Amino acid sequence: MAVKRVCLAYSGGLDTSVILHWLIERYGCEVVAYTADVGQEEELAGLPEKARASGAIDCVIRDLREEFVRDFVFLALRGAAVYEGSYLLGTALARPLIAFHQAKVARETGCDAVAHGATGKGNDQVRFELAFRALAPELAVIAPWREWDLRSRTDCIAYCEKYGIPVTATLKKPYSIDRNLMHVSFEGGILEDPWREPDEDMFILTQSAEAAPDEPTQIVIGFRRGTPSSIDGEDLSPAALLTRLNALAGAHGVGRVDMVENRFVGLKSRGVYETPGGTVLHLAHRAMESITMDRDVMHERDRLAPRLAELIYNGFWYSPEMDVMRAAIDASQGNVTGDVRVKLYKGCAVVTGRRSPCSLYDPELATSEDMGSDALYDPRDATGFIRLQGLRLRKP
């Protein structure tokens, strides 16, 4: 394959520093480094200098934090997307966005190829490359981890020493981390034993339940058409809202998940996640729906939810079936407006109240105080309703 200029998804860490140099060596091409800020909280200052020192002709940084939460995290929330009952999809949601802007940068800077540092056994390679196929099929894709003969971190460090590539020697964690505004994910290394409990000092966003404060915190989350818009009455931008919620819920130990999941590529993998704000939002959003959503609309959406999670997990964000899904989900959320109160305490988030200007909950209808009949609900109608429902259940 002949390529002239490659746009590389670059973090400045060990792997992508090696990749940058390797691309130039292997393909004799130019490299444009591209870094997306999705809230990973890594140092971005000095990154362009570092990329150039490693041989890049340019370094482009994009702040995608608001777009990430607004268009990706909040869509998954409205669709109640949870993979295999537990994973809130923090990594899976960021990949298509990162790829979208990478393809854009590649075009803007005259690249004929894109490259990424995802390994050959994971989901992320699939997510990046399916997005590239959908958005920029003319670009060649280079996945060095599937191509070169470097096999480990030790190989990468040796490569850097050989070619004098500047790497800030960070102490190697015994597992791999992926962080963004939605979550931190841990997998690999010592976590590959699914029986081994994670060390407490691994966690970044959450306290342990044991160390969490003895006093609970109550918060009120406001929703507009299924989208979170305020905390305790204060309107916040999507990224600001999630950041605030991560701090509040994380301090109370809310949002840890430890699971073994099925990767799209066909293997099982142990993952540990911290999703404090996202956990509270999913809980509160469902409570908001409980008083604002028609029963059967809710049940239809709930049938779509696991399928939506699967599309996101498997990397089909940019696909025709996803467009259908998006339309259905947004159509279900028109009435999901109001407030939900949540109590945070010792690793738990519990809903303690919900209210809405467009509530479908009718206290008059629901009351158990008055068992008499009215025009809308006459308990005597229940006699026939149950009799017909029970017809076919009678034993012969």
Distance CA 208, CA 367 (A): 41
CB of 12 or CB of 338, closer to ligand ARG: 12
The answer to whether 81 and 309 have CB atoms below 8 angstroms apart is yes
Contact 88, 100 (CB under 8 A): no
Tell which positions 345-374 bind ligand ARG, by CB under 6 A: none
Q: Which stretch binds ligand ARG (CB under 6 A): 40-48, 172-180, 321-329, 362-370?
A: 172-180
| DSSP character string of 78-108 | HTT--BTTTB--HHHHHHHHHHHHHHHHHHH
Q: Choosing from 52, 146, 155, 176, which is the catalytic residue?
A: 176
Residue 42 vs 161, nearer CB to ligand ARG:
42
- Exactly one of 15, 17, 185, 356 is catalytic; name it: 15
Longest dimension (CA), the chain: 86
- Strands 338-345 and 176-179, bridge-based pairing: unpaired
Q: Which is nearer to ligand ARG, 186 or 345 (CB)?
A: 186
Question: Which of 185, 227, 275, 292 lies at the binding interface for ligand ARG (CB under 6 A)?
Answer: 185
- What are the strands of the beta sheet with 256-262, ordered from one edge? 176-179, 184-187, 268-274, 256-262
Q: What per-residue string of b and e applies to 220-240 under the rule 16 or more CB within 10 Å gives b? A: bbbbeebbbbebeeeebebbe
The CA angle 109-129-243, to the nearest 5 degrees, is 80
339 sits near ligand ARG (criterion: CB under 6 A): no
Which residues are CB-neighbours of 79 under 8 A, at least 6 positions away? 301, 304, 305, 308, 325, 329
**At 87, phi and psi to the nearest 5?**
-85, 120
Q: Which stretch binds ligand ARG (CB under 6 A): 135-143, 163-171, 179-187, 320-328?
A: 179-187
Q: Is 70 a catalytic residue?
A: no
Instruction: Count Cα neighbours of 21 within 13 Å in the Cβ-side half-sphere.
Output: 20
Identify residues 249-288 at the interface with ligand ARG (CB under 6 A).
Answer: 269, 271
Q: Which of 102, 140, 100, 126 is nearest to 8 (CA)?
A: 102
- The CB-of-262 to ligand ARG minimum distance in angstroms stands at 10
* CA dist list (Å): 243 to 10, 40, 68, 86, 269: 24, 12, 12, 21, 28
- From 65-73, 180-188, 236-244, 327-335, span contacting ligand ARG (CB under 6 A): 180-188
Establish if 186 lies at the interface with ligand ARG (CB under 6 A).
yes
Out of 15, 30, 129, 178, point to the residue binding ligand ARG (CB under 6 A). 178
Residue 292 as a binder of ligand ARG (CB under 6 A): the answer is: no
Scanning 131-139, 151-159, 177-185, 321-329 for contacts with ligand ARG by CB under 6 A, the matching segment is 177-185
Write down the least CB distance from residue 92 to ligand ARG, Å. 4
Q: Nearest distance from residue 176's CB to ligand ARG, in Å?
A: 4
187 binds ligand ARG (CB under 6 A): yes
Residue 387 among the catalytic residues: no
176 is catalytic: yes
Question: Minimum Å distance from CB 243 to ligand ARG?
Answer: 20
Nearest distance from C-beta of residue 70 to ligand ARG, angstroms: 20
- By CB under 6 A, name the one of 154, 176, 218, 262 that touches ligand ARG: 176
Site residues (CB under 6 A) for ligand ARG, limited to 116-135: 123
Residue 55 is classified by DSSP as T
11 is catalytic: no
CA 203 remoteness from chain centre? 17
Q: Which residues are catalytic?
A: 15, 95, 124, 176
Q: Which residues bind to ligand ARG, rule: CB under 6 A? A: 91-92, 123, 176-178, 185-187, 269, 271
